[in-house]
């Protein structure tokens, strides 16, 4: 040990402290009044590093599988269909759909609400007229 280290060690020991009886009692009483926290009360432990590696690898594998599937589907070329072979649509036999029914269904509740409001206004007007004696 060199001179400086010796001096520092000796000087630290020269700082004269003592634990008073009062402090001793305080510490003992405090410790008796404290319950050590259980591990379950502590913050959750972080996952092991292996978990992150496994999840990263499985993610990469899934991404590669998706890319492979998409590429294999785009590479399959459908055979060209000859224009002459397509069957002509028989326009006479195609059924005509009545599209008006759907729009009527959508606005029906609002129209009913409007009618109810109008009748309420009319009733209110009549009541006011009766009250003022007209």
Partner 1 sequence: MTDELQLISAAKAGSADAFADLVRSYRLRLLRFLLTRCASYADAEDALQDTLIAAYRYIHSYDPRWRFSTWIYRIAIRNAQKIRSESVVEFGDLSDEESDPMLLCINASETNNLWVSARRVLNDDVFAATWLRYAEDMSISDIAKALDRSDSWTKVNLLRARKALDIEMNKENNGSETYG
Q: Which is nearer to partner 1, 26 or 118 (CB)?
A: 26
DSSP string, 55-115: HHHHHHHHHHHHHHHHHHHHH-PPPPPPGGGSPPP-TTTSPPP-THHHHHHHHHHHHHHHH
Q: Which is nearer to partner 1, 43 or 75 (CB)?
A: 43
How far apart, in whole angstroms, are the C-alpha atoms of residue 34 and residue 29? Answer: 9
Q: Which is nearer to partner 1, 10 or 106 (CB)?
A: 10
Find the shortest distance in angstroms from Cβ 47 to partner 1. Answer: 18
Instruction: Give me the residues that bind partner 1 (CB under 8 A), please.
Output: 3-5, 7-9, 11-20, 23, 26-28, 30-32, 34-39, 42
Find the shortest distance in angstroms from Cβ 10 to partner 1. Answer: 9
Task: State the residue for tokens 């399959």.
Answer: 76
The CA-atom distances, in angstroms, between 126 and each of 63, 118, 122, 123 are: 72, 12, 6, 5
Find the shortest distance in angstroms from Cβ 38 to partner 1. Answer: 7
Q: Which is nearer to partner 1, 46 or 103 (CB)?
A: 46
């Amino acid at each position: 040990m060199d001179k400086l280290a010796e001096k520092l060690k000796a000087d630290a020991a020269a700082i004269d402290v003592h634990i008073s009886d009062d402090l001793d009692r305080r510490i003992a009483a405090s410790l008796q009044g404290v319950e050590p926290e259980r591990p379950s009360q502590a913050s959750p432990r972080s996952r092991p590093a292996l978990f992150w590696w496994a999840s990263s690898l499985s993610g990469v594998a899934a991404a590669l599988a998706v890319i492979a599937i998409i590429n294999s589907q785009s590479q399959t070329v459908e055979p060209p269909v000859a224009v002459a072979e397509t069957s002509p649509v028989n326009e006479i036999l195609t059924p005509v759909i009545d599209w008006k029914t759907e729009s009527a269904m959508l606005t029906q509740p609002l129209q009913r609400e409007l009618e109810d409001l109008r009748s309420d206004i009319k009733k209110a007007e009549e009541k006011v007229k009766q009250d003022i004696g007209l």
